[in-house]
Amino acid sequence: MTVRTQGGYAAGQLTVHRSPAEIAPVTRALRGAGRKVALVPTMGALHEGHRELIRHARRTPGATVTAVSIFVNPLQFGAGEDLDRYPRPLEADLQVCREEGVELVFLPGVTDMYPDGADTTIVPGRVGDELEGAVRPGHFAGVLTVVAKLFHIVAPEVAFFGEKDYQQLVMIKKMVRDLDFPVSVVGVPTVREPGGLALSSRNAYLAPEERPVAATLQRALAAGAAVSARGPEAVLGAARAVLAEEPELQVQYLELRDPDLGRRPQTGRARLLVAARLGRTRLIDNIAVQL
């Protein structure tokens, strides 16, 4: 499939840029002219959750240009993961961008992003080895590295990420603080299917009969949150009980952490996080809890 690179910038029209050398001068010229650039980084296979991110970006106050990056980042996939089969419906993705009023799409290839390989990467720190990092070693080094590159190339003033990938959101915010990136990172609440399943590009892997089982993750989280006044053990116990109802789910972790993913709190704000495998599909979800 060939996508024509339109180049430049035309207000109200979608333009596609394939390399850092193409998009960087455009976004810097826009910012020099007093425009804001709002970035929504994605790996494509855009769904209603991505649309919501784009809508939040377009509501950024001021004269804002919305940019979407589409790049399946090989650095964040481990051995045996789904890099080769990750969905890549490019024409459908560009149509979503047109419908949502996106004006800039950054569509690089692997050699555009890593022309000399990827010897230099971001070290995620302690939290990067826990939860998702424990199950997927090296994952967050890949995530933070590509996000850092996107921030440098596109130079946005604000970037939007979904709360479904809550650990990713926390770590990107920490990277921005620790390394003084001049960008504001905004988290957007998880968008769900009518049955409660958190929207994800990987939901395409689910068989029709698996979808109600997959929604068990959300039911477990909701059950835990419903008894939050009784303390952390009650929260975890209620969630475990719901997950146990579906033996097809192979639970990888269920944890209650403070909002920055440090220790388990006894009172106040917390986050309940879960990951499980269902057949060939890996699922994650989370919910805010007030203890």
Catalytic residue numbers read: 50
Pairwise CA distance, residues 184 & 114, whole Å:
25
Ramachandran area for residue 268 (φ above 0: left; ψ -120 to 50: alpha; else beta): left
What gap in Å lies between CA 182 and CA 176, rounded to an integer? 8
Q: What are phi and psi for residue 217, nearest 5 degrees?
A: -60, -45
Q: Which residues have C-beta within 8 Å of that of residue 134, sequence separation ≥ 6?
A: 253
Residue 181 has which token pair?
């990136």
For the chain, report the end-to-end CA distance as a whole number of angstroms: 51
Among the listed residues 43, 62, 65, the one whose alpha carbon sits nearest the alpha carbon of residue 54: 65
Residues 6+ apart with CB under 8 A from 284: 132, 164, 165, 198, 200, 217, 273, 274, 275
